[in-house]
Amino acid sequence: MFRKVHLRLSALCAGITIFILFVMSCGYLYISEKGLKDSSFTSFQNDMNTVLGNLEQQTVITHEWLTRMEDNRKYQIQIMDNDTLFLFNERNSQEQRATFDSAWQQYQEQFLIASTGSSYAASHVEFPFSITGKNYYVCAAVSERKSGKLQVLILMPLTQLERQIHIQRILFFSLNTLASFALFFFSWHFTKLLLRPLSENQKKQVQFVASASHELRTPLAVILSCASAIKNADPGEREHFLESIQSEGRRMSRLIEDMLLLTSADNHAWTIQKEPTEMDTLFLETFEAFEPVAAEKSVRLSVELPDSTIPLCLCDRERIRQILAILLHNAVSYTSEDGWIQLSLLFDRKNFRLSVADNGIGIPDSEKKHIFERFYRSDQAHSKKGHFGLGLCIAAEIVKAHRGQIFVQDTPGGGSTFIVELPG
Ligand code: ADP
C-alpha cells in the first residue's frame, strides 16, 4: 500500500513542480527569443541606415562597393535603375530573383505609398518577410530623382538567428528534461522520507495487534477449556476451574486496560493532570503498599528520602504512583528470595530523581535498548504470568508526557536500577 502511495505522491509532487518549472521556463524562453529577434531587427535597421547613408554618398555604384556592402553574403542587395536590374544582380539565380520579386511585392503592398521620398535614408523601411519556409529581414528604399528612379532592396537571411534560437531551444529542452529527472528523483526521496514515519508506525501497529492477539489467546484458551471442563467436573473441581477462569479473566482485563492506555497515548488522547505533589509522601505510601508484596517473596524493601525538605513536584500524582508500581512490581518479580529492593528519591535543584534499585537477575546490555519496546520480554520473563511486556512502555509514555526521562543502569554488584528524572 505504501509503495503505491509513495509512487503517486512522488508523481504528484514532481508533476506540479515540473509543470511550474516548464511554464516559467517557457515564459523565459519566449521573452529571451523575443529579445533576440528585437535586437537582431534593431541591429539590421542600424546597419541599413549605414548602408543606405553610404549609398547616398556614392556617385557611381561599383560592383566592388556592392560586394563589400554584402558583407560576405550576410546581406543580399538588389538595385533597379529605372526598373532595370543592375548588372551586379544579373548573376542572381532564378530562386534569388523570385525571392527579391516577392519581397518587393510585399513592400509595394504594405509600405510604398508611405515611404516614397527623395532620399533612401529618409524613405527606407524594414520588415520581416518569409518565402518557402525561409525567413528574412528586408530593407526597401526608393529614391526618385531627376536622373530617374532607383529602387534598392536588401535582404538578410535569418539562418544565423534561427540557428541561435534553435540551439537555445535544444538547450532549454535538455535542461528541462534533466531538471525534470532531478525533480522526480528528489520527490521520490522526499516523499520516501515523509512516508517513513507513517510506514514505521503502521508496522508497529501491525506488530502491536499481532502481539496483543497472541497474548490474549493464552488466557482465552484457558478460560474456554476450563468452561468446557466445568460441565463434567465434580463440585470440588468446579471451584478450582472457576478460580482459574476468574484469574485469567482478570489477566485479560489488565492486558486490555494496558493496551487501551498505550493506544490513547499514541492518539495523544492521554491527559496528564498535574498538581503540586509531595513526592516524599507519595514514596512512603508506595513503600507501604508494596512492603507486604516484597515480604511475601522474602525480599527486603527499603526507602531512602532526602534529609532536607524538598519542593512540591508538579506532576500527575496517580500516574507517578503507577510508574513506581510498575518498577516495583518488576523488581519484586525479577529479584530472587532474600534479595533487596531500594526505593530512593533525590532532588538536585532542577530535577526530581526517582529510582528503584534491586539486586535481582539484572538486564544484559544487549537487552537494555529493547526493554522499553511494546511486548518485549526477556526469555526468563516469558514464564512469568502477568508479565506482558507492556509495563515499561507505559512507564516510558507517562514519563514522556511529563517531559522527563527514564533509563536503566546496572546496580553495582548485580541487578538493575531504573531511574526516572522529572523536571522540578
Ligand atoms: P513485563 O511485564 O514483562 O515485566 P516490562 O515492560 O515491565 O514487561 O519489562 C520488560 C522486560 O524488561 C521484562 O520482560 C524483563 O526482561 C525486563 N525487566 C524489567 N524490569 C526488570 C528488573 N527489575 N530486573 C530484570 N529485568 C527486568
Whose alpha carbon is nearest atom 8 of ligand 1?
389
Confidence grade of residue 375 (pLDDT, cut at 50, 70, 90): confident
DSSP 414: S
Burial class (CB in 10 A: 0-12, 13-18, 19+), 333: buried
Which set of grid coordinates corresponds to residue 335? 529479584
Q: Where are the alpha helices (DSSP H) in 86-234?
A: 94-110, 112-115, 120-123, 159-232
Confidence grade of residue 52 (pLDDT, cut at 50, 70, 90): confident
pLDDT at residue 357 above 90? yes
Whole-number percent of the chain with pLDDT over 70: 95
Judge contact between 89 and 78, C-beta under 8 A. Answer: yes
Confidence grade of residue 145 (pLDDT, cut at 50, 70, 90): low
Whose alpha carbon is nearest atom 23 of ligand 1?
331
pLDDT tens, position by position, 165-178: 999 999 999 999 99
The span from the CA of 229 to the CA of 241, in Å, is 8
Which set of grid coordinates corresponds to residue 214? 497472541
Q: Residue 221, Cβ neighbours under 10 Å: how many?
A: 11
pLDDT at residue 102 above 90? yes
Judge contact between 151 and 142, C-beta under 8 A. Answer: yes
> Residue 100's Cα: distance from chain center in Å?
61
Q: How many angstroms separate the alpha carbon of residue 205 from the centre of ligand 1?
A: 21
Atom of ligand 1 nearest to the CA of 360: 24
339 ligand 1 Cβ < 6 A: no
**What is the model's pLDDT at position 186?**
93
376 ligand 1 Cβ < 6 A: yes
**Mean pLDDT score, 337-346:** 96
Confidence grade of residue 212 (pLDDT, cut at 50, 70, 90): confident
Judge contact between 74 and 127, C-beta under 8 A. Answer: no
Q: Which residues contact 199 (CB under 8 A, 6 or more apart)?
A: 2
pLDDT tens, position by position, 266-325: 888 888 899 999 999 999 999 999 999 999 999 999 999 999 999 999 999 999 999 999
Q: How many angstroms separate the alpha carbon of residue 347 from the centre of ligand 1?
A: 26
Place of cell 546490555: 365
Q: How many angstroms separate the alpha carbon of residue 367 from the centre of ligand 1?
A: 10
pLDDT tens, position by position, 223-239: 999 999 988 888 888 88
The span from the CA of 329 to the CA of 332, in Å, is 5
**What is the model's pLDDT at position 114?**
53
Taking all residues of the chain, what is their mean pLDDT, rounded to a whole number?
Answer: 89
**What is the model's pLDDT at position 82?**
81
Q: How many angstroms separate the alpha carbon of residue 47 from the centre of ligand 1?
A: 92
Between the CA atoms of 231, 234, 239 and 243, what dihedral angle is there, to the nearest 10 degrees?
Answer: -50
* Strand partners for 334: none
**Mean pLDDT score, 9-35:** 93
**Mean pLDDT score, 38-65:** 86
pLDDT at residue 100 above 80? yes
**What is the model's pLDDT at position 120?**
53
**What is the model's pLDDT at position 382?**
59
Which of 215, 301, 334 is the pocket-test mutation for ligand 1 (most atoms within 8 Å of CB)?
334
416 ligand 1 Cβ < 6 A: yes
**Helix (H/G/I), strand (E/B), else coil: 314:** strand
381 ligand 1 Cβ < 6 A: yes
The span from the CA of 208 to the CA of 212, in Å, is 6
Q: How many angstroms separate the alpha carbon of residue 240 from the centre of ligand 1?
A: 30
Helices vs. strands in the chain: H and E counts, helices first: 12, 12
pLDDT at residue 255 above 60? yes
**Mean pLDDT score, 363-372:** 93
**What is the model's pLDDT at position 95?**
87
**What is the model's pLDDT at position 270?**
80
44 ligand 1 Cβ < 6 A: no
**What is the model's pLDDT at position 66?**
84
Q: Could you give the C-alpha distances from 181 to 176, 190, 267, in angstroms and in order? A: 9, 14, 38
Whole-number percent of the chain with pLDDT over 90: 58
Q: Which domains does the chain have, with CATH numbers?
A: 60-157 (3.30.450), 275-423 (3.30.565.10)
Which of 366, 392, 394, 408 is the pocket-test mutation for ligand 1 (most atoms within 8 Å of CB)?
392
pLDDT at residue 416 above 90? yes
Computed over its alpha carbons, how large is the radius of gyration of the chain? 47
Question: In 268-325, where do the E strands start and end?
Answer: 275-277, 300-304, 313-315
Q: How many angstroms separate the alpha carbon of residue 381 from the centre of ligand 1?
A: 7
Q: Residue 163, Cβ neighbours under 10 Å: how many?
A: 10
Judge contact between 77 and 66, C-beta under 8 A. Answer: yes
Phi, psi of 144 (to 5 degrees): -105, 115
Looking at this protein, which amino acid is placed at residue 275? E
More confident site: 55 or 315: 315
